[in-house]
């Protein structure tokens, strides 16, 4: 099971803070804590090292060089750290294992759960450790065990079973009991004072912005998730689970005529909406407000997607991308019609 080990300048034995500017380098065999991993049965074919400051200040170059070495060595697994509570070292470990994982090289780092490197690791695995080097002896066997499992290509179980930090991914499984029976257990437990949940919550609330100060002098855009597109759906906007959004020129049109526009939204019966697409994207009313001077001007492009079965992460990306374009165009307010 060929493994490559990543350490910083200190654990590579190159020096302390005075050597933190050391660029990426490749050492033969196991070095420092890598020897402990070898003692646990891992075969380390090479060690990569980089100064913490160098990595932080030249991330792109450092990463490119380290990945280059890694691809030459073609290991079955990359092991990084343990970095314990060291933020810079942890960040380098996390970033490197994430990059390796992206390239299909199984990778695992080890560090304290609050190390910022945990976030940087993305979908790669992180084994939790104590906050300082006193936790080395405890960490190495666990790190080696997970690395060996990854190198073998074994299907890993959950975080508790395998000893890694939850990565935020959700994986289906078949429980021994039905959801209904689990619900009764959870509720009786909660009434007994022990509250548990199978899925955590979290808020993704957007605070309403302050009122637009002077609407009569503001460029206003129309944006919708109602799946409103030119007749025939020329760009093939999906009716569910859109992977992106489109923008269409209004070309001075005064109304969204049924002959020219339609909704391809798959989440509701679009029959009535398609009799008058203005009810999805209120162009007729917006033009009236424009004529009356109640809004400064209407942006001559409208943005559309299908908000139906879209994971929140994906929808958030759409929002960011559209908002970026609107900001660049000087739009100060958006009429966002949802369905």
Partner 1 sequence: MAWELASFSADLLGDASVEGADVEIVLPGSPVRVTHVLDAVEPRIRPDGRAAFPTQGKSGEGRTNRLDGVVVLSCLDFAAEERPLHEQESIVDLAGPGAAYTPFAGETCVVLTFRPPEEARNDEVEVHARTETLALAERLAAATLEAEPQRVEGFELGEVDGGLPRIAALIQLSDLGPLYYQFVYGQPAGQAGLPRVIDPAELLDGAVTCGEYHWAAMRNPTVFFQRNSLIRSLYREHGERLDFAGVVLMRGYEQSADDKQRAAEAATMRAQELGADGVIITTDAGGNSHTDVMLTCRACEQAGIRTTVVLAEETDPESTRPILTDWVAEADSIVSTGNVEELVEAWTPEHVLGGDTLLDGTPAAAAGPIPVRNYLGAANQMGQLSLGALSG
Size of the site for partner 1 (CB under 8 A): 57
Q: Which of the 8 DSSP states describes residue 166? A: -
Q: Decide if residue 320 touches partner 1 (CB under 8 A).
A: no
Near partner 1 in 168-227, by CB under 8 A: 168-184, 186-191, 195-199, 201-204
Piece of the chain touching partner 1 by CB under 8 A; list 17-25, 141-149, 159-167, 248-256:
159-167
Distances in whole angstroms, Cα of residue 278 to Cα of each of 12, 129, 224: 66, 58, 11
Smallest CA-to-CA distance from 282 within 307, 256, 313 is with: 256
Residue 189 C-beta: closest distance to partner 1, Å: 8
Q: Decide if residue 258 touches partner 1 (CB under 8 A).
A: no
Near partner 1 in 106-145, by CB under 8 A: 122-123
Piece of the chain touching partner 1 by CB under 8 A; list 15-23, 105-113, 166-174, 277-285:
166-174
Q: Decide if residue 260 touches partner 1 (CB under 8 A).
A: no
Spell out a b/e string for 174-192, using b for 16 or more CB atoms within 10 Å of the CB, else e: eeeeeeeeeeeeeeeeeee
Q: Decide if residue 289 touches partner 1 (CB under 8 A).
A: no
Between 56 and 240, CB nearer to partner 1: 240
List the one residue from 41, 309, 324, 330 that touches partner 1 (CB under 8 A).
Answer: 309
Question: CA 279, CA 201: separation in Å to the nearest integer?
Answer: 34
Question: CA 195, CA 208: separation in Å to the nearest integer?
Answer: 33
Question: CA 104, CA 98: separation in Å to the nearest integer?
Answer: 10
Smallest CA-to-CA distance from 253 within 226, 228, 234 is with: 228
Question: CA 226, CA 191: separation in Å to the nearest integer?
Answer: 43
List the one residue from 47, 129, 304, 308 that touches partner 1 (CB under 8 A).
Answer: 308
Q: Decide if residue 155 touches partner 1 (CB under 8 A).
A: no
Smallest CA-to-CA distance from 215 within 286, 287, 327, 293 is with: 293
Between 135 and 267, CB nearer to partner 1: 267
Q: Decide if residue 64 touches partner 1 (CB under 8 A).
A: no
Piece of the chain touching partner 1 by CB under 8 A; list 70-78, 238-246, 247-255, 329-337:
238-246
Smallest CA-to-CA distance from 45 within 174, 113, 145, 147 is with: 147
The residues binding partner 1 (CB under 8 A) are 122-123, 156, 158-159, 166-184, 186-191, 195-199, 201-204, 238-241, 264, 266-271, 274, 308-309, 311-314
């Amino acid at each position: 099971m060929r493994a490559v080990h990543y350490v910083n300048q200190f654990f590579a034995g190159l020096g302390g803070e005075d050597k933190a500017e050391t660029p990426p380098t490749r050492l033969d065999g196991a070095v420092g804590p890598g020897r402990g991993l070898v003692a646990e049965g891992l075969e380390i074919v090479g060690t990569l090292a980089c100064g913490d400051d160098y990595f932080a200040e030249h991330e792109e170059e450092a990463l490119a060089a380290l990945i280059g070495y890694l691809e030459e060595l073609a290991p079955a697994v990359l092991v990084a750290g343990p970095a314990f509570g060291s933020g810079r070292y942890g960040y380098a470990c996390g970033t490197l294992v994430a990059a390796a994982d992206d390239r299909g090289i199984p990778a695992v780092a080890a560090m304290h759960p609050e190390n910022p490197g945990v976030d940087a690791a993305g979908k790669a695995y992180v084994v939790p450790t104590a906050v300082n080097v006193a936790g080395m002896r405890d960490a190495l066997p666990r790190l080696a065990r997970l690395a060996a499992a990854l190198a073998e290509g074994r299907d890993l179980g959950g975080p508790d079973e395998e000893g890694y930090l939850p990565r935020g991914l959700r994986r289906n499984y078949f429980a021994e009991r039905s959801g209904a029976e689990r619900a009764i257990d959870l509720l009786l437990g909660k009434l007994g004072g022990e509250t548990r949940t199978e899925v955590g919550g979290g808020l993704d609330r957007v605070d309403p912005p302050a009122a637009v100060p002077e609407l009569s002098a503001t460029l206003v855009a129309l944006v919708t998730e109602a799946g409103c597109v030119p007749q025939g759906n020329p760009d093939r906007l999906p009716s569910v689970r859109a992977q992106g959004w489109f923008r269409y020129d209004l070309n001075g049109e005064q109304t969204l005529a049924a002959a020219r526009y339609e909704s391809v939204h798959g989440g509701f019966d679009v029959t009535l909406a398609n009799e008058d697409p203005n009810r999805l994207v209120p162009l007729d009313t917006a033009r009236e407000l424009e004529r009356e001077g109640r809004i400064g001007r209407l942006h001559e492009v409208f943005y559309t997607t299908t908000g139906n079965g879209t994971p929140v992460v994906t929808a958030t990306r759409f929002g960011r991308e559209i908002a970026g374009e609107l900001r660049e165009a000087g739009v100060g307010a958006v009429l966002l019609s949802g369905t």
